[in-house]
Amino acid sequence: MTGVLLDTNALLWVLAGQDELGARARALLAASRPAHFSAVSVLEITIKHMLGRIDVPGDVSAGAQRAGLGELPFRADHAAGLLDFPALSRHDPFDRMLLAQAATDQLRLLTSDRFLLGLGFDWVVDARA
């Protein structure tokens, strides 16, 4: 696995220029080409913004592309990949979709989600580390 997929929190941290990303995560992101953001994260950010839960730092997709990230659309094979993680059937649907995308496309998932980090997959990487 050489590429990286940022989860929604990691994407927001990159867009906002926050120091939440740990040194190891920043190094992994800098060394990983390609590095991706997901259409799923844009959907999650948009919904949470509409509900008044978060402020959006401008055009998410344009900002991600300016940050050097490539967009990863959510495809049918990603949706089918959800079947590989039956234990997550009641977990946050956005996290499940991002995990399935990363697994299907053989990308590391950069996340701060403790549940996902606790699954024990070596390709799920702590964004705070």
> What is the pLDDT, as a whole number, of residue 58?
83
Nearest to 64 by CA among 113, 111, 19, 11: 11
Question: Model's pTM, two decimal places?
Answer: 0.94
Q: Domains along the chain?
A: 4-126 (3.40.50.1010)
> What is the pLDDT, as a whole number, of residue 57?
73
> What is the pLDDT, as a whole number, of residue 100?
97
> What is the pLDDT, as a whole number, of residue 82?
95
> What is the pLDDT, as a whole number, of residue 92?
93
Contacts of 101 (CB under 8 A, 6+ apart): 5, 38, 40, 72, 74, 78, 81, 107
CB atoms within 10 A of CB 35: 23
Below-50 pLDDT ranges, the chain: none
What is the C-alpha separation between 7 and 41, in angstroms, rounded?
7
| 96, two tokens | 């499940």
| 127, two tokens | 């964004």
> What is the pLDDT, as a whole number, of residue 105?
97
> What is the pLDDT, as a whole number, of residue 54?
92
Cβ contacts of 51-57, under 8 Å, gap ≥ 24: 54/12, 57/12, 57/15, 57/16
